[in-house]
Homo-oligomer: A and B are copies of this chain.
């Protein structure tokens, strides 16, 4: 994979894989479906990827990376910033948000690497939320801030989970309500 043609094909395959995981779920994402949608034959796929799982892992990495807001603001963003960034991610990158949720459920069941990746990412995200909470409410203990962050992050995931099932579900209203309630609860 060094020629331009190969790189372009690789992109098309990853794009097809992403859209398929988003629309059909992990098990609906077959080699045939990927190849059809990417306009490629199995031989080409396996010239660029070692396995179907490798392609899926690439897309999982994309999704996990896209969840986190601009890393340059690390350590300065408010809780509201973090929630707004997440709303933006879910509404503007619907496919990746769907991948993110679907993978968490289907992928983690039988794939230890995906499970580990997802859990590590979750922990990092909770830490970031906890840091923002601590900054805004210095009176809270670290453990309490962490606990509140965990409630908020898992709840946001629940909202996204519902949005995966019902595209009309308004993520922003409910995510902001969660934030308001969380602040009111301190």
Contacts and interface: CB of A to CB of B under 8 A. Distances in A.
Interface of A: 23-28, 101-102, 104-106, 108-110, 115, 118-119, 122, 147-148, 150-151, 154-162, 164-166, 173-174, 177-178, 180-182, 184-185
Q: Lowest 10 CB-CB distances: which A-B pairs, in order? A: A158-B158, A181-B185, A155-B155, A25-B109, A27-B27, A181-B181, A105-B105, A184-B185, A154-B162, A157-B158
A181 to B, nearest CB: 4
**How many monomers of this chain does the complex have?**
2
B25 A165 contact: no
Contacts of A166: 119
A168 to B, nearest CB: 11
